Amino acid sequence: MDLSQTSAKELLNDLSNRSLSAEEVMRATLARIAAVNDQVNAIVALRDPDDLLAEARVVDQGENLGPLHGLPIAVKDLVNVAGIASTQGSPLFRDHVPATDDLLAARLRAAGAILIGKTNTPEFGLGSHTFNPVYGATRNPYDPALTCGGSSGGAAVALATGMLALADGSDMMGSLRNPAAWNNVYGFRPSWGRVPSEPTGDGFLHQLSTLGPMARSPEDIGILLDVISDPDPRQPNSVESSPITPVQTADLQGLRIGWLADWGGAFPMEEGILDLCQNALAVFAEMGAEVEEVPPPFDAERIWDSWITLRAWSVAAGLQPLTDRQAAFKDTAQWELEKGMALSAMDVHHASVARTEWFRCVVEVFQRFDVLVLPTVQVWPFAIETPYPAEISGAAMDTYHRWMQVVTPVSLLGLPALSVPAGFGSGGLPTGMQLVGPKGADARLLSIGAVYHAATSWPQKRPAM
């Protein structure tokens, strides 16, 4: 068995019934990392292999530890993990080795995972292109001269190349979805509040970012989502959720899909992306779904203005304790900090009003449709030396993140969204599309995605590395 090609479900079943040892899985994982990681730079801060093998042997000698028993996992480098360098991609934290786990890492460990290191991320997680001054850039396995996306870029590449079977990530502005699209895997942004964040700082106001899972199938995503879900009593907006595993396959007969395309031209797209998404939608139609193109339900600029205000406010709140070292930030972090610090209370209020109006609008849209669909990205992977696209098909981008505007209608409202692979363009590069549901429809989206995955199996068409 080639363990790098095996699903998380199958690995975990074999680990649980002891037909496969944690040591065997660890040896295979380390061998795969040794074979491919130098080419893509996805796994960073890897622990000593001898220590990892010794830990795996201890796991084999004990009781079953939980749903992730013996599975190697590298954690996104925005999460503190005890005993492993946790840098946020910033030189300010290059030597930071925490003594305790963040909540997400603690849940992984309690479920039986063996935490082997980190997955690479942009500095402070800002920007959908994974590069930083601590570890460098993570490369796209379909073309190492190109970006892999971000900010969960290392996680997506590790999945795509078979170095990991499951990976965590986080998503404020598409960071679970964008790299999933560009690496031919699945990324799931859960309903906001389902997966609690770290219980520090404000717990009421900043409702934009969420932690979530990535995998090579919706079924595997469900396994990890159950581990990292459940409310934290210290956080006022965390919500109760029912288990998703095993992910059930949906009956798509009569499923009402609203295709939002490029939002009536508001989101410029590079050639070929919309065509591939429409081809993917045809898969749903062949299985009985009703696909209808939907005109823009809300003004894209109002969503965007609300988004960049609330995002800058949230990012600045996170960076504010480091303002005495602001000169060490990358330019985009400085831009977010300065924009956020300049906002007035009424600026934030007006942005929140616009968000509320968009929410009321989308509630009405979901009375007509079960699922809304958008492309996950607006461009193909770009040169790894390029910080971010300055234009799309001749349309100038006025900020460093405007090229990812297509994810903001979802992020602004905290809706669940599954980025599914949509195939390959003429240049051999992958892209994806977002299946979006109403708040709380997480299980339903994964069940729909499971049917699509069974019909397409895109992630199993992986790069030869």
* Per-residue model confidence as pLDDT tens for the chain (465 residues): 688 889 999 999 999 999 999 999 999 999 999 999 999 999 999 999 999 999 999 999 999 999 999 999 999 999 999 999 999 999 999 999 999 999 999 999 999 999 999 999 999 999 999 999 999 999 999 999 999 999 999 999 999 999 999 999 999 999 999 999 999 999 999 999 999 999 999 999 999 999 999 999 999 999 999 999 999 999 999 999 999 999 999 999 999 999 999 999 999 999 999 999 999 999 999 999 999 999 999 999 999 999 999 999 999 999 999 999 999 999 999 999 999 999 999 999 999 999 999 999 999 999 999 999 999 999 999 999 999 999 999 999 999 999 999 999 999 999 999 999 999 999 999 999 999 999 999 999 999 999 999 999 999 986 555
**What is the pLDDT at residue 3?**
84
**What is the pLDDT at residue 465?**
54
Decide if 443 contacts 221 (C-beta within 8 A).
Answer: no
> Exactly one of 7, 86, 128, 151 is catalytic; which is it?
151
> Exactly one of 76, 118, 330, 439 is catalytic; which is it?
76
Domain formed by 3-460, architecture: Alpha-Beta Complex (3.90)
Q: Is the pTM of this model over 0.85?
A: yes
Q: How far apart are CA 435 and CA 419, in angstroms?
A: 6
**What is the pLDDT at residue 233?**
95
- 427: buried, middle or exposed (CB in 10 Å: 19+, 13-18, 0-12)? exposed
**Does residue 151 carry a catalytic annotation?**
yes
**Does residue 175 carry a catalytic annotation?**
yes
> Exactly one of 86, 152, 170, 175 is catalytic; which is it?
175
**Does residue 152 carry a catalytic annotation?**
no
**What is the pLDDT at residue 325?**
94
**What is the pLDDT at residue 219?**
98
Residues linked to residue 215 through DSSP beta bridges, in sequence order:
166, 186
Decide if 51 contacts 93 (C-beta within 8 A).
Answer: no
Q: Which of 84, 91, 104, 72 is nearest to 44 (CA)?
A: 84
Q: Where are the domains of the chain?
A: 3-460
**What is the pLDDT at residue 2?**
82
**What is the pLDDT at residue 5?**
86
Residues linked to residue 188 through DSSP beta bridges, in sequence order:
418
**What is the pLDDT at residue 272?**
98
| The pair of three-digit structure tokens given for residue 291, joined into one six-digit string | 């696909």
